[in-house]
Structure 1
Amino acid sequence: MGNIFVIGSASVDLVVKSHRQPAKGETILGESFFMTTGGKGSNQAVSASRLGVDVYMVGAVGDDTFGEMILNNFKENHVNIDNVETVTHQSSGTAHITLADNDNSIIVVPGANFKITIEQVEVVLSKLEQSDIVVIQNEIPVQVTEYIINRTHELGITTIYNPAPFVQIDTSLLNKVSYFTPNETEVRELFGEDFESVIKQYPKQMIVTLGAQGAVYYDGELKRVPGLKAEVVDTTGAGDTFNGAFAVALSEGKDIDAALQFANKAASISVGGLGAQGGMPYRKDME
């Protein structure tokens, strides 16, 4: 079993719950507010760690109260933070989330997450073993993401790329990752087409997440791995839970079908709790 290295964002989520989303220019009364740790990288690292593997976070936080909150959360969830830099003169990343109608809308302010450098990640990548897995997303500078993809391909390291939130990236790089996991919207943003039109170009590599409907990939034919029914409290972080759990399953030697079933199960459990990490399962919850 290899280690999992998550290179990405770590933020604090500021969450408002409301009976509906406000219209443009409208002010409405919310129902509740809470604050918790998040960021796609942090979420995926915590998801994987709770499922019982060794996880190393690579990222940056601000020298502020939010930064302390983020680092303490990593420690509580047994995520290694030796490669998380604390930067000055830059606030920690934040995400501003509105929950309404069993869905969410999010504005991300990257802050210190955009201070991650190629030099910082190279120190980590140069020490990886062949059994390790790297997980990346799009809440860090795109040039760093592109460097990671090229470098892990060169090293022969298994890499999971979650292209969210959408940023414009050279799609030829997708051939260099082991797996990439867009949702339907991100597929249209990446390719200008629905996933059925492009998925055959990336057999056993492009995994499209479909929320409650599970996930789909191509292996000579279109293969659907169904999701599990769940009582939805908050969908925030379900995709990150999926990606963290998928990495864990692969690290344990599961084939793609079994890995996706494991990831779907973790994601279905996660929507039962508030906040991106509030419902993320531990191994005992999965078993």
Structure 2
Amino acid sequence: MDTTSFPLQLLEHMHGTVAVVGSMNVDYTITTARLPEPGETVAGGPLELLPGGKSGNQAAAAALLGADVRMFGAVGSDSNADFLLDHLAAAGVDTSHVRHVDGPSGLTVITVDASAENTIVYSAGSNAQVSVDYVESKIGELTGADVLGLCLESPIETVTACARMCHEAGVRVLLNDSPFTADLPAELIEHTDILLVNEIEMAQLLDLQAPADDDWSAFDWPLALERLEALGIRQAVVTLGADGSVVLDATADEHVTRIAPVRVDAVDTTGCGDSFMGTVLAGLASGWSLAASARAAAYVSAYAASGRGAQASYGTPAQIRAKFEA
């Protein structure tokens, strides 16, 4: 495997502080030969309970790479709460700021087929109780970070309040518009420094036509950056699945940077996007450029695709180097 596009030894020098606010879920995962059609029943393998949640995944990925990661969110009063917190702590995440509430913790039901494709159903549980009052009570811990990671598995008013508090304090705010919404609040956009979306989400958000043949190599990326700047966001990473990613950065000398994919035999793509985001967070906290962070994320997310589950498939710098430098 050619690693000349990114010196993997740099993964062992991650540092800086990352704050992640959002969701933690237990993933109830079943593997099947193929995904069921509507109304169809298919046979599956044994049920696996794995730690997940977009924000929890992102926090775990960043911590495994060496960043100082603080997790903010809520778990319930069920046994899943300890399961989630124990796995995050094992990855090196500081969970001391997580809120405990009555009721069930968040969960997802995931089906993974033989081609590593998946379907996911999300039940918010305790994630719905990540309130504005709660994050405001943690303002000192949040604004003491170098970078903040957000997604949309928490109440939108809470996500917006976090972005505002941290942006105004000089903390860089990275928003993963997922689960995707094309109608982001103006205040959230105003206080977002960097956006992370996939190609279809980007086209919908910026009112651009996706290529009919799915050939994104010929897409008008400078126009996408122009539309993005019109929204008030000057930096973004657009993921292209197996085709890599594109960094749009009006603050850099190179405004459009194509990041090549790292090829692996995929086993399960669950949580790969979250490992990508966690790596970008860790890279930014370490003082890296957005493009360098995305290059590192290509390797980290490819490593994740070669194992099952979300957090369960994430690697340390030593494990990732061993795989791709062999």
> Paired residue for 2:109, among 93, 96, 117?
96
Separation of aligned partners in 1, 2:287 and 2:166: 19
Return the letter of the residue paired with 2:225.
I
2:160–2:187 contact (8 Å) kept in structure 1: no
1:11–1:92 contact (8 Å) kept in structure 2: yes
> Paired residue for 1:64, among 78, 89, 101?
78
Return the letter of the residue paired with 1:242.
F
1:174–1:180 contact (8 Å) kept in structure 2: no
Percent of matched pairs sharing the same residue:
30
Using a 3 Å threshold, how does the CA distance of structure 1 residues 27 and 172 change in structure 2: closer, same or farther? same
Separation of aligned partners in 2, 1:102 and 1:183: 18
> Paired residue for 1:207, among 237, 249, 254?
237
Largest Rg, 1 or 2: 2
Measured after TM superposition, the shift of residue 147 of structure 1 is: 1.4
TM-score by length of 1: 0.93
> Paired residue for 1:270, among 304, 311, 314?
304
Measured after TM superposition, the shift of residue 233 of structure 1 is: 0.4
Separation of aligned partners in 1, 2:209 and 2:31: 31
User: Which aligned pairs between 1:236-247 and structure 2 lie closer than 5 A?
Assistant: 236-247=270-281
Measured after TM superposition, the shift of residue 128 of structure 1 is: 4.4
Using a 3 Å threshold, how does the CA distance of structure 1 residues 171 and 103 change in structure 2: closer, same or farther? farther
1:136–1:160 contact (8 Å) kept in structure 2: yes
Return the letter of the residue paired with 2:53.
G
Separation of aligned partners in 1, 2:23 and 2:145: 23
SS of corresponding position for 2:73: strand
SS of corresponding position for 1:207: strand
1:44–1:240 contact (8 Å) kept in structure 2: yes
Q: Does 1:163 align with 2:177?
A: yes
TM-score by length of 2: 0.82
Measured after TM superposition, the shift of residue 286 of structure 1 is: 3.4
Separation of aligned partners in 2, 1:251 and 1:69: 28
- Please identify, of 262-271 and 23-32, the stretch whose mean Cα deviation from structure 2 is larger: 23-32
User: 1:166-208 CA deviation, whole Å, 9 max, x = no partner?
Assistant: 1342256334312110112322443443474533333651210
Return the letter of the residue paired with 1:114.
A
Corresponding residue of 2:257: 223
User: 1:207-251 CA deviation, whole Å, 9 max, x = no partner?
Assistant: 101122111123465321111111100000000000101111111
2:247–2:291 contact (8 Å) kept in structure 1: no
SS of corresponding position for 1:275: coil
Measured after TM superposition, the shift of residue 40 of structure 1 is: 0.4
Corresponding residue of 1:22: 36
Separation of aligned partners in 1, 2:190 and 2:63: 28
Corresponding residue of 1:282: 316
1:130–1:156 contact (8 Å) kept in structure 2: no
SS of corresponding position for 1:83: coil
Corresponding residue of 2:199: 184
User: 1:224-282 CA deviation, whole Å, 9 max, x = no partner?
Assistant: 11111111000000000001011111111112221111111101111011001122110
